[in-house]
């Protein structure tokens, strides 16, 4: 499957399953929401999550996205990049999280509250850089 076709498919969805590798090599699967832009998949998460710890140790990840039926799906193998953890309500990480929220949900009723929650939660952004794709389209 062409990577560009897979990215087009993945960009038309928002939900997937992220697979990371545990310390013992077994897969860790996490249901996630994501955004796609410029060929990069962005995921908001917290520093305490297993996926964050796994990717900090081993940046290999796969994203599985299912289509309208069970036989239509894409898997992207990717290298993950972790942003720093948000530490100030106006740092670059929080700005990125604000932009992600706006893209996904529109305007927040209280941006000051949102910004502080990103810091309090220890949020960061995972960026997946796809390298390979497989799956089935058009079933």
- Structural domains for the chain: 3-85+125-136 (2.30.110.10)
CB 76 within 8 A of CB 130: yes
CB 17 within 8 A of CB 31: yes
User: What is the rounded CA–CA span in Å between residue 85 and residue 56?
Assistant: 12
CB 106 within 8 A of CB 114: no
Residue-wise pLDDT for 109-121, tens only, equals 999 999 999 999 9
**pLDDT value for 139:** 62
CB 108 within 8 A of CB 101: yes
Enter the pTM of the model: 0.95
What is the mean pLDDT of the segment spanning 5-16?
A: 97
């Amino acid at each position: 499957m062409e990577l560009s076709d897979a990215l087009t498919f993945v960009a038309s969805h928002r939900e997937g399953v992220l697979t990371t590798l545990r310390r013992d090599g077994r897969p860790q699967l996490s249901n996630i929401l994501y955004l796609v832009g410029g060929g990069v998949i962005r995921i908001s998460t917290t520093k305490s999550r297993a996926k964050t710890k796994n990717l900090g140790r081993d940046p290999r990840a796969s994203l599985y996205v299912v289509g309208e039926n069970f036989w239509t799906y894409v898997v992207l193998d990717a290298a993950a990049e972790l942003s720093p953890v948000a530490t100030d309500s106006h740092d670059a990480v929080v700005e990125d999280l604000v932009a992600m929220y706006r893209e996904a949900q529109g305007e927040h009723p209280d941006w000051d509250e949102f910004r502080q929650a990103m810091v309090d939660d220890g949020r960061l952004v995972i960026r997946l850089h796809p390298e390979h794709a497989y799956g089935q389209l058009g079933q």
